[in-house]
Chain A
């Protein structure tokens, strides 16, 4: 059958073009690994620099401190969170860019724009929500809200990239709810889920799509 390779090539092209135009596949597993490591380093920094090495938060911890000391801790924690965020985003952009060059794909496409929109909407809502908590001095639910909104943004972005992200998002949401129920354990939940999960997922994605 002389036409066979022709048809097979046609089908291969259809599959490739469909996939590349509807899913952002330059997302690198390495981004996940390094985002996780950055998050863990940030959490460790928070615990040792600001929380006297205590993993479990309690009211007594704060009642023994003066108001200015507490404010110093709050500002420090926010700065630290900002630094972790910037480093993770920069690293994930860097690894995605490298992967897209390696696979000679483009980074800025209609599908990557959709992916970003779907990520940003829940993240932005969550960010504003957390700022409102800060203004009202409600600290208890900040960590759980981060987990929940981050999880939601992953779930909403998953249709434009690897399906695996869906489960990562789901686990983040569930652990956010658990953290809300047990607020004292917030840091443990946060480090475990965000840090370790990203590393595990990064390794998974890397092994599955990049080796």
Chain B
């Protein structure tokens, strides 16, 4: 059976990155600690995936201070959103075809 996988993106093969993007698609922005708690991952793990998403231009970072505490929040960029939606559509098609 021929399956079209052109829409799938390697960025989202990883479940943590998949989770991050799923959250950022439905929320304007989300802060680091909330992401960590929502996905149940460690600081280091989350930070490295966020960095790779940021470097690829899929996620944008917004750093600010609440009082003296640094608060970093993340948003999906337009590119990131487009890529994720295409990925999602491809996943759904794959399942329907099988």
Contacts and interface: CB of A to CB of B under 8 A. Distances in A.
Interface in A10-39: 10-11, 13-14, 17-18, 20-22
Interface stretch (B30-38, B50-58, B59-67, B75-83): B30-38
Contacts of B31: 110
B27 A110 contact: yes
B46 interface: no
Q: Is the interface of A mostly helix, strand, loop or mixed?
A: helix
A31 B34 CA distance: 26
Given A21-B22, A21-B23, A4 B15 contact: no
Nearest to B31: A110
A183 B27 CA distance: 43
Contact of B18 (A10, A21, A109): A10
Contacts of B39: 17
A18 B26 contact: yes
A13 B22 CA distance: 9
Nearest to B95: A7
Contacts of B19: 13, 17
A135 interface: no
B22 A14 contact: yes
A21 B38 contact: yes
A115 B30 CA distance: 15
Interface residues of B, number: 22
Given A13-B18, A17-B23, A110 B30 contact: yes
Nearest to A111: B27
B91 interface: yes
Contact of A8 (B18, B27, B34, B95): B95
Contact of B34 (A3, A7, A110): A110
B26 A22 contact: yes
A70 to B, nearest CB: 49
Contacts of B95: 4, 7-8, 11
A209 B92 CA distance: 26
Given A4-B98, A7-B95, A13 B15 contact: yes
Contact of B27 (A10, A14, A22): A22
B14 to A, nearest CB: 10
Given A21-B38, A106-B37, A7 B94 contact: yes
Interface of B: 1, 12, 15, 18-19, 22-23, 25-27, 30-31, 34, 37-39, 88, 91-92, 94-95, 98
Closest 6 A-B residue pairs measured CB to CB? A22-B26, A17-B22, A21-B23, A14-B22, A18-B26, A1-B98
14 contacts: A1-B1, A1-B98, A3-B94, A4-B95, A4-B98, A11-B92, A14-B22, A18-B22, A18-B26, A21-B30, A109-B37, A110-B27, A110-B31, A111-B27
Given A14-B88, A18-B25, A21-B38, 12 more contacts: A10-B15, A10-B18, A13-B18, A13-B19, A18-B22, A18-B26, A21-B22, A21-B23, A21-B27, A109-B37, A110-B30, A111-B27
